Amino acid sequence: MPVNPPDRLRLLDAIIEVLGQDRSAAAEPMDSYKARIALSLLAILRRELALAGGLADEERTRLTALLGCEGDAAALSVALCARIRSRTLDIGAPALLAHLRQTTLGKLAIDNPRYSAYLRATGASPSRER
């Protein structure tokens, strides 16, 4: 499961809704606020189209090794949740933590690569942008 909800179709719905509104109202402060969010969601979708397929493949490979079973990334991720919840997997295991970190960094590469903790984790120069 390379990204969190809402999925790409729902994000497109939100963008279409905002951009489809009467442009004569564009001078309204609320409207430009929504237009800025629409733009940021388009940037997320652009990164998702470029990255999500590869990230899902890598995630599936890691999950297969971690859980010892086959499936797509989403199904294996659900299985991983069950294993953590039932404590049949050691929550301090380095392989688990490494997998979770990789998967999370993948999500942030799509959802917000300017996030402070992402910049710190990827060794990017310290920045106060987010």
Task: Give the interface with other proteins as residue ranges (CB under 8 A).
Answer: 1, 3-6, 10-11, 14-15, 17-18, 33-34, 37-38, 40-41, 44, 77-78, 80-81, 84-85, 87, 91, 96-97, 100-101, 103-105, 107-108, 110-112, 115-118, 120-121, 126-130
23 or 130: CB nearest other proteins? 130
Q: How far is the CB of 19 from other proteins (least distance, A)?
A: 10
11 or 56: CB nearest other proteins? 11
Q: Do the beta carbons of residue 87 and residue 43 sit within 8 Å?
A: no
Q: How far is the CB of 18 from other proteins (least distance, A)?
A: 5
Q: How far is the CB of 27 from other proteins (least distance, A)?
A: 18
Q: How would you class 83 by CB atoms within 10 Å of its CB: exposed for 0-12, middle for 13-18, buried for 19 or more?
A: middle
Q: Which residues contact 42 (CB under 8 A, 6 or more apart)?
A: 15
26 or 33: CB nearest other proteins? 33
Q: Which residues contact 37 (CB under 8 A, 6 or more apart)?
A: 18
What's the rounded Cα separation, in Å, for the pair 61 and 69? 10
